[in-house]
């Protein structure tokens, strides 16, 4: 089993994904939102890159759907929900499709579609994701969404936690790129949750009034076994649940 890590959504455009299981990571906040929405009973989450694509998709879906997402961290004008995971409650999303467009996270999905399988990870579900990857036993690419083409601390740290979990169970895994080797020690940094709060995107979210989202997304206390997994619904890529037996809102 080989494991690689990409630093940004943009770096995925030139990567060879053939035969790989890809894990998209956007801790703040897209993959935390996707996990929360499915955990709350959303039917499926459709990740799209642009606002226009989101509006077009809404016209084609027959079942009830919500337009969700952000630009510059704020809810897009006219959309039902922004990118705050705690707003994706059962009463808001249960039984509905979520059409989600975000700056980096949903772009990482679009740029990785050549993968054999795609799943979404965040600090909310990284243990379940790592266990699932061990079961699948395929070559893995952890795709950090990053922040507008630059590395982000929290995505790299989440990749490191997944990588270290896998290596601890299967030491013969081969770590490929220099970036993958570089992020390995992050998981063992003392007081990682506090350090993550110093990350640039984290600071921006706090400054814009989204500190509740930061606390929710960076807390690994509320682990869930939800593993958002990409499939095609009416030929559109959508994330649905493969496995769920816990509720992150019940803690
Ligand atoms: C993104 O996809 O860029 C993020 O989810 C941005 C955000 O925190 O809203």
pLDDT confidence tier of residue 244, bands split at 50, 70 and 90? very low
Is 202's C-beta closer than 6 angstroms to any atom of ligand 1?
Answer: no
3-state DSSP assignment of residue 241: strand
Distance CA 233, CA 46 (A): 9
Instruction: Determine the residue of 27, 51, 70 to mutate for testing ligand 1's pocket, defined as the one with the most ligand atoms within 8 A of the Cβ atom.
Output: 70
Report the pLDDT value the prediction gives residue 249, as an integer from 0 to 100: 40
Report the pLDDT value the prediction gives residue 234, as an integer from 0 to 100: 87
- Reported as a single tens digit per residue, the pLDDT across 10-47 is 999 999 999 999 999 999 999 999 999 999 999 999 99
User: Does residue 205 surpass a pLDDT of 50?
Assistant: yes
Distance CA 126, CA 93 (A): 23
Report the pLDDT value the prediction gives residue 219, as an integer from 0 to 100: 85
In the sheet that holds 74-75, the strands lie side by side as: 74-75, 65-71, 97-101, 44-47, 236-241, 228-233, 117-121, 21-25, 140-144, 2-6, 174-175
Ligand 1 centroid from CA 83, angstroms: 7
3-state DSSP assignment of residue 233: strand
- Reported as a single tens digit per residue, the pLDDT across 89-98 is 999 999 999 9
- Reported as a single tens digit per residue, the pLDDT across 42-99 is 999 999 999 999 999 999 998 899 999 999 999 999 999 999 999 999 999 999 999 9
pLDDT confidence tier of residue 113, bands split at 50, 70 and 90? very high
């Amino acid at each position: 089993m080989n494991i690689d890590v990409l630093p940004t959504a943009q770096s995925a455009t030139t990567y060879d994904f053939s035969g790989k299981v890809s894990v998209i990571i956007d801790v703040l906040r897209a993959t935390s939102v996707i996990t929360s929405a499915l955990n709350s009973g959303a039917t499926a989450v459709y990740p799209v890159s642009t606002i226009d694509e989101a509006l077009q998709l809404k016209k084609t879906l027959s079942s009830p759907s919500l337009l969700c997402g952000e630009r510059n961290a704020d809810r897009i004008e006219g959309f039902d929900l922004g990118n705050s995971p705690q707003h994706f409650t059962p009463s808001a999303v249960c039984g509905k499709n979520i059409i989600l467009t975000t700056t980096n996270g949903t772009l990482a999905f679009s740029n990785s579609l050549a993968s054999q399988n795609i799943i979404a990870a965040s600090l909310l579900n990284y243990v379940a994701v790592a266990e699932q990857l061990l079961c699948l036993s395929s070559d893995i690419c952890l795709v950090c969404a990053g922040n507008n083409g630059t590395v982000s601390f929290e995505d790299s740290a989440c990749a490191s936690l997944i990588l270290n979990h896998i290596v601890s169970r299967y030491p013969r895994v081969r770590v490929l790129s220099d970036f993958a080797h570089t992020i390995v020690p992050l998981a063992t940094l003392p007081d990682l949750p506090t350090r993550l709060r110093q990350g640039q995107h984290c600071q921006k979210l706090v400054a814009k009034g989204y500190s509740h989202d930061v606390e929710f997304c960076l807390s690994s206390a509320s682990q869930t076994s939800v593993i958002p997994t990409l499939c095609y619904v009416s030929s559109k890529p959508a994330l649905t649940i493969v496995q769920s037996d816990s509720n992150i809102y019940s803690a």
